[in-house]
């Protein structure tokens, strides 16, 4: 080991003291655990690199320090197998550090070492920087980048008081997921929060979430990401766009710096994120994270060298087997992480354990999860080790795992994702319900299956209905209000000449593209929003709502707003007032679902041919305009079904009419001495569309006329 120092630091620190010490007593340290591990005596640093010829550990006195203390790790003393390590006494939490890793620059062989670049620790628990744009630009250019580079931050994960707050126990049958973006939820001035766009501001909105009735908050990526990972400009203003959604991670263990209100010096205890988790748990809400392990913010071969590329490029990434200077791209972002390489598998598992055990996260939604099932050559595996290891890990056994079971290269595993415990985003539910709502033909049978929890997709593999995560909208695509307001995407502001974003929106505008004051169009759009929410919350499975849909949030027809860190994406809380009736309906519909176990069975519902027993709540009977005569024809747009009550619920009857015109139905006879009561009527005005419990109107006869494009839900009493 050698020491090298280029100058003195302006303030006296442990690092500065070591620099002037006649005998800096840095020892060889230990290879495990990987990362920067704090102890009373100092910090153990460890990093993996198989092909490196030399590694420097750099300790910084400040963010823009360009004369750090450089510790050259001697391979004879500070390398164990492929781990480079050292123990540095006298430093602790709050210390800034980084690595320079030396080795061959041979892109044609998949090796991209650049000993001039400061690199992040892949296991860094905190990441600090002054200017993300400068950090990105200097990491992309040739030459050193000490002053501008993002720097790893030593964190003591034990230095936090959870105040006895533990994760809530949420009945999985009652789970309603609410997907939100930390910044966008409170960044708009109308949010009336003290520090809009931060973890702290989200804490202020917890009473709203509790009142809405959701049980689980799913946060879009909070891993440290590259905010400037966007090459496009808004053509209208010339403003450079950002990576707003956060799908460009550069540090898997570190919460995103941009969501904190405090300076980096106070990030050492990770208070902002853990305060949010503690507050959500205290309110009885779960916390899920949208995690991105399929790619990183280093991009393609022209991208910046920030971390993995400069440490062991062809181990962390899948390289093109025909041209190893390029990356295999199954993520659509320029690179793909080699998730099933043993060292990368370990990193992912260590990361998930950290967020579960140290940060108290309750579940994870895996972006483009099929990448986790590809081997080191990019080929899909029948039994990939990583998904199985994740679900069998003791720290993750009680956490909810949700797969987005497809990737950008066409591998589609909905209903077939490896493992047993995984839930899946059900994109088939989304598409079938959207098409049915707008009046497409040939969908009644498919919609019936979706309302049962998609047994045609999941039952044959022994899954439960709850493992279908049902959604109609999410961050990616139209908001619910835009789904009923635009037939075509409006993505010019994204700078890609409207070429980005899907064209398969299955949307309708009902007469006018975009905003309108026409009362007839406003009425049908509002009804269709309520119809979508009703079908989502009447379906077996686990429902997921997109934040803001309950107040008719709009993105002006932009269905790919990943770069719009502005009012296009931010929730305008003024719409809560202007769309109070829709908000009330969504809130009441969630409570209706909570109140009726028949709508949220674990097991798949069985048909009426199954003999009834006293406690059997698993039966469903299908109807058409006449009882017991369902219409499964191609031209059908009506559907009715009865969920027979058991000891824990009343019998529920649902009638759906997606014709434009009214349709007359005949109801099945209720049990002797009972009557049908109108619990939900999406054609009615608020509050009659979903009256308070006990205020439902009794049906005077078994004949009813259902308005066009509307849903009626009756309960037997």
DSSP 8-state class, residue 224: E
Enzyme catalytic residues = 367, 404
Question: Of all helices (H) and strands (E), which one includes residue 716?
Answer: strand 710-716
Question: Of all helices (H) and strands (E), which one includes residue 138?
Answer: helix 132-140
Cα end-to-end span (Å), the chain: 81
Of 285, 324, 281, 331, nearest to 301 by C-alpha is 324
β pairing state of 79-80 and 69-73: unpaired
| Number of Cβ within a 10 Å radius of residue 63 | 18
Of 92, 89, 97, nearest to 60 by C-alpha is 97
Compute and round to an integer the Cα radius of gyration of the chain.
28
Q: Which long-range contacts does 691-699 make (Cβ < 8 Å, 24+ apart)?
A: 692/588, 693/595, 699/667, 699/675
CA dihedral sign, ordered 599, 604, 608, 611: negative
Give the separation between CA 521 and CA 601, rounded to whole angstroms. Answer: 36
* 90 close to 69: Cβ distance less than 8 angstroms: no
DSSP per-residue codes, 45-110:
EEEE-SS-SEEEEEEESSTT-SS-EEEEEPHHHHEETTEEEEEEET--TT-EEEEEEE--EEGGGT
* Phi, psi of 462, rounded to the nearest 5 degrees: 75, 20
DSSP 8-state class, residue 151: E
Give the separation between CA 333 and CA 296, rounded to whole angstroms. Answer: 8
> What burial letters (b/e) apply to 683-695, b meaning 16+ CB within 10 Å?
bbebeebbbeeee
DSSP per-residue codes, 435-462:
HHHTT-SS-HHHHHHHHTT-HHHHGGGT
What residues have CB less than 8 Å from 273, skipping those under 6 apart? 199, 222, 255, 259, 359
- Angle in degrees, CA 289, 278, 95, rounded to 5: 80
Give the separation between CA 387 and CA 496, rounded to whole angstroms. Answer: 35
- Angle in degrees, CA 342, 346, 352, rounded to 5: 145
Give me the residues paired with residue 304 across strands: none
SS3 content of the chain, % helix, strand, coil (to 5): 25, 20, 50
Give me the residues paired with residue 87 across strands: 27, 44
* 371 close to 293: Cβ distance less than 8 angstroms: yes
């Amino acid at each position: 080991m050698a020491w090298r120092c280029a100058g003195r630091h302006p303030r006296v620190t442990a690092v500065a003291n070591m620099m002037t010490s006649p005998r800096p007593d840095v020892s060889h340290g230990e290879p495990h655990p990987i990362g920067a591990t704090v102890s009373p005596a100092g910090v153990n640093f460890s990093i993996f690199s198989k092909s490196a010829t030399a590694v420097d550990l750099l300790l910084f006195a400040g963010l823009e320090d360009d004369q750090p203390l450089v510790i050259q790790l001697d391979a004879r003393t500070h390398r164990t197998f492929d781990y480079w390590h050292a123990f540095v006494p006298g430093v602790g939490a709050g210390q800034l550090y980084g690595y320079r890793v030396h080795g061959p620059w041979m892109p044609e062989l998949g090796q991209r070492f650049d000993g001039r670049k400061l690199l992040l620790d892949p296991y860094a628990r905190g990441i600090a920087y002054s200017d993300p744009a400068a950090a990105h630009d200097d990491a992309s250019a040739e030459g050193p980048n000490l002053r501008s580079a993002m720097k790893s931050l030593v964190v003591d994960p034990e230095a936090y008081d959870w105040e006895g707050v533990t994760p809530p126990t949420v009945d999985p049958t009652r789970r309603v997921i609410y997907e939100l973006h930390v910044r966008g939820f409170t960044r708009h001035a109308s949010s009336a929060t003290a520090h809009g766009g931060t973890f702290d501001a989200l804490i202020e909105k917890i009473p709203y979430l509790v009142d809405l009735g959701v049980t689980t908050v799913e946060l879009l990526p909070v891993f440290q990401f590259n905010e400037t990972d966007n090459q496009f400009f808004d053509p209208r203003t010339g403003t450079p766009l950002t990576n707003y959604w956060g799908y460009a991670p550069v540090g898997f263990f570190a919460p995103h710096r941009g969501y904190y209100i405090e300076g980096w010096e106070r990030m050492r205890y990770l208070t902002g994120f853990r305060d949010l988790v503690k507050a959500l748990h205290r309110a009885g809400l779960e916390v899920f994270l949208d995690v991105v392990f399929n790619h990183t913010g280093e991009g393609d071969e022209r991208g910046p060298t920030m971390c993995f590329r400069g440490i062991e490029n062809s181990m962390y990434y899948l390289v093109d087997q025909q041209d190893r200077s390029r990356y295999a791209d199954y993520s659509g972002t320029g690179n793909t992480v080699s998730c099933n390489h043993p060292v990368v598998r370990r990193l992912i598992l260590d990361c998930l354990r950290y967020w579960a055990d140290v940060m108290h996260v309750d579940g994870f939604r895996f972006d483009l999860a099929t990448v986790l099932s590809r081997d080191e050559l990019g080929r899909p595996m029948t039994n990939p080790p990583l998904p199985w290891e994740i679900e069998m890990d003791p720290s993750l056994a009680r956490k909810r795992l949700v797969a987005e079971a497809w990737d950008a290269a066409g591998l589609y595993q909905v209903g077939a994702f490896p493992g047993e415990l995984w839930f899946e985003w059900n994109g088939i539910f989304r598409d079938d319900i959207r098409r049915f709502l707008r009046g497409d033909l040939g969908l009644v049978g498919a919609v019936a299956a979706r309302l049962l929890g998609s047994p045609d997709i999941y039952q044959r593999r022994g899954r439960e209905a709850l493992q279908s995560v049902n959604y109609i909208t999410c961050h990616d695509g139209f908001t619910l209000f835009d789904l009923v307001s635009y037939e075509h995407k409006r993505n010019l502001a994204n700078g890609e000449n409207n070429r980005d974003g899907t064209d398969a929106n299955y949307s309708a505008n009902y007469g006018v593209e975009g905003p309108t004051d026409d009362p007839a169009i406003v009425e049908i759009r509002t009804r269709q929003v309520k119809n979508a929410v009703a079908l989502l919350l009447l379906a077996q499975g686990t429902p997921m709502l997109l934040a803001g849909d309950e107040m008719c949030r709009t993105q002006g027809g932009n269905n790919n707003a990943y770069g719009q860190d502005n009012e296009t994406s931010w929730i305008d809380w003024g719409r809560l007032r202007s769309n109070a009736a829709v908000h009330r309906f969504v809130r009441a519909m969630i409570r209706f679902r909570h109140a009726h176990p028949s709508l949220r069975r674990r097991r798949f519902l069985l048909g009426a041919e199954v003999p009834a027993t006293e406690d059997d709540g698993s039966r469903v009977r299908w109807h058409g305009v006449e009882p017991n005569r369902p219409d499964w024809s191609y031209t059908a747009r009506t559907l009715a079904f009865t969920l027979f009550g058991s000891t824990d619920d009343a019998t529920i009857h649902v009638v759906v009419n997606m014709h434009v015109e009214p349709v007359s139905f005949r109801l099945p006879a209720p049990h002797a001495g009972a009557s049908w009561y109108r619990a939900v009527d999406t054609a009615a005005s608020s509050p009659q569309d979903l009256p308070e419990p006990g205020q439902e109107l009794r049906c005077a006869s078994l004949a009813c006329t259902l308005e066009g494009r509307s849903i009626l839900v009756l309960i037997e009493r």
